[in-house]
Amino acid sequence: MLKKGHVRALGAMSGTSLDGVDAAVIETDGVEIFGFGPSGYREYSGPEARSLKAALGRWPGEPGVAEAAEVAETAHVVLLEEFIEDVDIVGFHGQTLAHEPGGRGTHQAGDGRVLAEALSRPVVWDFRSNDVEMGGQGAPLAPAYHHALARFIRADKPLVFLNLGGVGNVTWIDPGKGPEAMLAFDTGPANAPLNDLMGARRGLPYDEGGALAAEGAVDEAVLARFAEHRYFFKLPPKSLDRDDFAALSQEVAGLSDADAAATLTAAVAASVALAQQHFPAPPARVLVTGGGRKNPVMMAMIAEGLGCPVEPVEAVGLDGDMLEAQAFAYLAVRVAKGLPTSWPGTTGVRAAVGGGVISEPSGGFA
């Protein structure tokens, strides 16, 4: 049983960009944030990343899934062992391979029981399934943490957290209201199509500094067709799988490397601009987390499409590299304390609901 008061929680995140695992420690009681501990990152090796990518879109029991799960589990254990001392509980998101709310469900590879035994700590995992079973999208789940961060930074006006990972997502927050008033949804593709392009054409993991996109010209016809996608006009909450916009990558296949990169970057900005039509009120600022915030071309394009300041979360003293790992540390404590992790406005679930499975190590807490 988790001790009363605030605890030290270790969270881990391996996103749809398939670059590696983030780990971060926070101090929290599952409601308020009291402080931040150490953090770290472990990059996937080439063979590991290829194993994960080969299993994308697949479900438990299908070819390559067991191998991908083992890659995720091993990589997480190696990294988390560095931070486990003085930690009370672990939040393990796993690696999303398939996401089909309203259909087959959601699939995050990796078994929390393996981590619980290896780390000798309680591990909370499978965060999304319960939400999907209750009629929700199962994503995004970070809004609970975003709301706590809005209080932590003492925000007093509506604001938006924008995460630019493999897929983009937003959380609109009114700091004067409870989490049930939040609105959250996936905006569209973010870094995934651009990273895939860079890997295929240049053998690079991403467009560093937006340098390639800066050399190119946006194909306005491709961008216009992209902006007409029915997803953008669907009312939130709503969520995406990494490959739901695979047609976009096909559309830029005939463009030069630079023009393709510019067009894919502009598509990210367009999807964020289209998202604002759903906000309950204009935000005073947009705080950006995830790898996309380090791409100045992408950030400039996004700022051009929004009518408010667009800044990396570092502008308010937060760590944009580790925010999602911190989020799953926070969510782990909420699960352990029986608190909600999603609401109708964040995932479309019928009522506020908690999720997650708690696995205890068989030998007890070491």
Say what the pLDDT of residue 16 is. Answer: 75
As a whole number of angstroms, the distance between CA 295 and CA 165 comes to 12
Is residue 146 very low, low, confident or very high in pLDDT (cuts 50, 70, 90)?
A: very high
Indicate if the pLDDT at residue 3 is higher than 80: no
Indicate if the pLDDT at residue 365 is higher than 80: no
Indicate if the pLDDT at residue 261 is higher than 70: yes
CA dihedral 199, 106, 90, 336 (to 10 degrees): 160
The identity of residue 3, as a single letter, is: K
Indicate if the pLDDT at residue 1 is higher than 80: no
Q: What is the mean pLDDT of the chain?
A: 95
Is residue 338 very low, low, confident or very high in pLDDT (cuts 50, 70, 90)?
A: very high
Q: What is the mean pLDDT of residues 62-67?
A: 97
The candidate with the shortest Cα–Cα distance to 21, out of 106, 109, 152, is 109
Which residues fall within 8 angstroms of residue 243, CB to CB, at 6 or more apart?
56, 57, 192
Q: What is the mean pLDDT of residues 45-59?
A: 95
Is residue 90 very low, low, confident or very high in pLDDT (cuts 50, 70, 90)?
A: very high
Whose tokens are 């604002």? That residue is 276
Domains and CATH numbers, the chain: 7-140+322-359 (3.30.420.40), 155-316 (3.30.420.40)
Is residue 6 very low, low, confident or very high in pLDDT (cuts 50, 70, 90)?
A: confident
Q: How far is CA 169 from the centre of its chain?
A: 8
Say what the pLDDT of residue 240 is. Answer: 84
Is residue 334 very low, low, confident or very high in pLDDT (cuts 50, 70, 90)?
A: very high
Q: What percent of the chain has pLDDT over 70?
A: 99
Indicate if the pLDDT at residue 140 is higher than 90: no
For residue range 194-241, list pLDDT tens digits in order.
999 999 999 999 999 999 999 999 999 999 999 999 999 999 988 887
Say what the pLDDT of residue 298 is. Answer: 98
Say what the pLDDT of residue 333 is. Answer: 97
Q: What percent of the chain has pLDDT over 90?
A: 89
∠ at Cα 9 (7, 12), nearest 5°? Answer: 170
As a whole number of angstroms, the distance between CA 244 and CA 250 comes to 12
As a whole number of angstroms, the distance between CA 361 and CA 88 comes to 12
Residues 150/277, Cβ–Cβ less than 8 Å: no
Beta strands at 123-125 and 357-359: parallel, antiparallel or unpaired: antiparallel
Q: What is the mean pLDDT of residues 28-52?
A: 97
Length of the chain: 366
Say what the pLDDT of residue 366 is. Answer: 52
